[in-house]
């Protein structure tokens, strides 16, 4: 499968054990641009709370870094086992892990150590892959099994990782006396996909997590984590902010927006006026999006979102840096822009370079950065924290 045929969407939803403030499961994901690889790790710390979280963080970080450096799976596992302390009562190390390494061609490598078996779905059904097994032991640890497998992903495939808070949910109940095991969970997911074939990775992870919580009668007996990796067609968005440096390029900007095959966002009053003039489309202000801090949203036929410029982009940048998840709550322009950015995969930023003198006024608040710097920061955050594919051009 060629890289331009699919986008790798990753959704992670977690629920802490009841009465715990910190989740003892840790999820990490990193995109290695130079090699066109995406590495995802789920680690489950023994027990719950802060101690479990610290050890799971250590495990996930080591697993991620060793995989980035192409360490063999056995060496990675042994190093982690030798580093972690061992529970004296159960004679097992304090964390488990699953590592998924996906390259540019969709070749997917899965390494699993003591987490529930990953589920691989194709055409709405569970499929099996060839699995290699290796017995491992370190320190006082009893021998446990490392499994790893590889398969070429196809468009529409999904990989589902869970902690044992999912597979052991409902344990002791009449419905699931031995827990919601992998085969039963897989059947339930397949039934869900029959009705929602295009469901996103975050939404499916959320449904699985909520079902596991329901199995526990909405009182989580353990930390619950679900990660869904979905190979699908990319969703595209074009965000334009700022007028072109040369006024004669106004028409080219409008035609670029008109011909774009995806969702479209205009950020900036001057930008919107140029597009309105060149395409002959009216602009209307929506008072439903009123906010005391952010100017309201406007509407224009053929454009998905029209907002004010620097203030809105500055708020979007700050919210991305603080960390947000879908759906982003709020009716203001920044929340609307974030929902569009996070719901798309390939984002094209087009920044005009004509200077707006208002933004150079030294008496204005510090957060009013020059547009190009805000856009550069948004690009970096979307790439590093949210694994988006982002292109930035200036006009």
Three-class secondary structure assignment of 22-38: CCCEEEEEEEEHHHCEE
161, with CB counted inside 10 A (0-12, 13-18, 19+), is buried
pLDDT tens-digit map of 52-93: 999 999 999 999 999 999 999 888 888 888 887 766 555 555
- Identify the burial level of 75 via C-beta atoms within 10 angstroms of its C-beta, where 0-12 means exposed, 13-18 middle and 19 or more buried: exposed
What is the spatial order of strands in the sheet that 236-241 belongs to? Answer: 284-285, 298-300, 303-307, 263-267, 236-241, 346-351, 389-394
E-strand ranges in 117-256 read 119-122, 125-126, 132-136, 144-152, 158-162, 224-232, 236-241
Looking at the fold, whether 332 and 208 belong to one and the same domain comes out as no
Looking at the structure, tell me whether residues 334 and 255 fall in a common domain.
Answer: yes
Residue ending a domain, among 186, 206, 232, is 232
Query: Are 180 and 314 members of one domain?
Result: no
Give 314's DSSP letter: H
CB burial of 121-146 (b: ≥16 within 10 Å; e: otherwise) equals beeeebeeeeeeeeebebeebeebeb
Task: Name residue, tokens 């897989």.
Answer: 186
* Together in a domain, 179 and 250: no
Q: Quickly list H helices, 22-103.
A: 49-68, 73-83
When divided into structural domains, the chain yields a total of 2
Q: Does residue 297 share a domain with residue 206? A: no
Contact 148, 135 (CB under 8 A): no
Q: What is the pTM of this model?
A: 0.80
For residue range 355-375, what is the model confidence (pLDDT) as tens digits? 655 555 554 443 345 778 899
Joined tokens for residue 17: 């054990």
pLDDT at 82: 82
Residues 166 and 17 in one domain: yes
- Comparing C-alpha atoms, which of 63, 191, 193, 174 is closest to residue 115? 63
Residues 148 and 252 in one domain: no
Percent of the chain with pLDDT over 70: 91
What is the predicted pLDDT for the residue at 364?
47
Do the Cβ atoms of 96 and 113 come closer than 8 Å?
yes
Helix residue ranges, H only, 216-309: 250-259, 269-279
36-to-126, 296, 384 alpha-carbon distances in Å: 27, 39, 14
- Span between the terminal Cα atoms of the chain, in Å: 34
Domain end marker among 232, 261, 284: 232
Contacts of 50 (CB under 8 A, 6+ apart): 22
- The DSSP call for residue 378 is H
CATH number of the domain within which 132 lies: 3.60.40.10
Look at residue 34 in the predicted model and tell me its pLDDT.
87
pLDDT in tens, the chain (395 residues): 554 568 899 999 999 999 999 999 999 999 898 898 999 999 998 888 998 999 999 999 999 999 999 999 888 888 888 887 766 555 555 789 999 999 988 999 999 998 999 999 999 999 999 888 888 765 555 557 889 999 999 999 999 999 999 999 999 999 999 999 999 999 999 999 999 999 999 899 999 999 999 999 999 999 999 999 999 999 999 999 999 988 899 999 999 999 999 999 999 999 999 999 999 999 999 877 667 788 999 999 999 999 999 899 999 999 999 998 888 888 899 999 999 999 899 999 999 887 655 555 554 443 345 778 899 999 999 998 888 999 999 98
Residue 85 has a pLDDT of 72
| Residues 120 and 70 occupy one common structural domain | yes
96 in the same domain as 9: yes
Residue 102 sits in the same domain as residue 223: yes
**Which pLDDT does position 326 carry in this prediction?**
80
Which domain, by its residues, includes 384?
236-394
**CA separation for the pair 26, 13 (Å, rounded):** 11
Question: In this structure, how many other beta carbons lie within 10 angstroms of the beta carbon of residue 320?
Answer: 21
Residues 82 and 99 sit within 8 Å (Cβ to Cβ): no
Strand partners, 213: none
Which residues, 6+ apart, have CB-to-CB distance to 70 below 8 Å?
A: none
Of residues 165, 163, 166, 136, the one with CA closest to residue 148: 136
Q: Which one of 232, 264, 293 terminates a domain? A: 232
351 and 382 share one domain: yes
Which pLDDT does position 393 carry in this prediction? Answer: 94
Does residue 215 sit in the same domain as residue 242?
no
Q: Which two tokens stand for residue 104?
A: 């540019």
- CA–CA distances in Å: residue 292 to residues 287, 306, 320: 12, 18, 20
Do the Cβ atoms of 94 and 46 come closer than 8 Å? yes
């Amino acid at each position: 499968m060629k890289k331009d045929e699919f986008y790798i969407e990753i959704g992670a939803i977690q629920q802490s054990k009841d009465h715990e403030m910190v989740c003892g499961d840790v999820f990490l994901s990193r995109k290695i641009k130079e090699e066109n690889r995406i590495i995802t790790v789920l680690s489950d710390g023994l027990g719950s709370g802060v101690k479990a979280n610290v050890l799971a963080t250590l495990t996930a970080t080591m697993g991620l870094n060793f995989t980035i450096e192409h360490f063999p799976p056995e060496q990675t596992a042994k190093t982690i086992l030798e580093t972690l302390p061992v529970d004296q009562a159960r004679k097992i190390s304090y964390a488990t892990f699953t590592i998924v390494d996906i390259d540019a061609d969709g070749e997917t490598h899965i390494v699993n150590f003591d987490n529930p078996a990953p589920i691989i779905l194709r055409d709405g059904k569970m499929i099996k892959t060839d699995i290699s097994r290796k017995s491992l032991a370190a320190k006082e640890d009893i021998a446990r099994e490392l499994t790893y497998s590889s398969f070429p992903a196809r468009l529409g495939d999904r990989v589902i990782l869970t902690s044992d808070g999912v597979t052991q949910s409902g344990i002791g109940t009449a419905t699931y006396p031995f827990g919601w095991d992998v085969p039963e969970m897989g059947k339930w997911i397949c039934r869900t996909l029959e009705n929602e074939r295009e469901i996103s990775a975050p939404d499916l992870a959320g449904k699985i997590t909520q079902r596991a919580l329901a199995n526990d009668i909405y009182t989580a007996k353990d930390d619950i984590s679900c990660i869904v990796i979905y190979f699908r067609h990319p969703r595209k968005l074009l965000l334009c902010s700022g007028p072109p440096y040369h006024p004669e390029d106004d028409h080219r900007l409008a035609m670029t927006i008109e011909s774009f095959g995806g969702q479209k966002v205009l950020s900036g009053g001057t930008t919107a006026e140029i597009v309105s003039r060149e395409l002959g489309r009216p602009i209307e202000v929506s008072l439903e999006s009123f906010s005391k801090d952010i100017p309201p949203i406007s509407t224009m036929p053929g454009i998905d979102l029209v907002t004010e410029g620097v203030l809105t982009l500055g708020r979007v940048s700050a919210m991305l840096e603080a960390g947000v998840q879908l759906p982003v709550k709020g009716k203001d322009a920044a929340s609307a822009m974030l929902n569009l950015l996070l719901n798309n995969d390939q984002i094209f930023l087009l920044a005009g370079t004509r200077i707006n003198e208002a933004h150079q006024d030294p008496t204005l608040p510090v957060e009013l950065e020059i547009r190009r710097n805000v856009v550069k920061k948004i690009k970096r955050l979307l790439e590093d924290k949210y694994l988006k594919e982002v292109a930035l051009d200036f006009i």
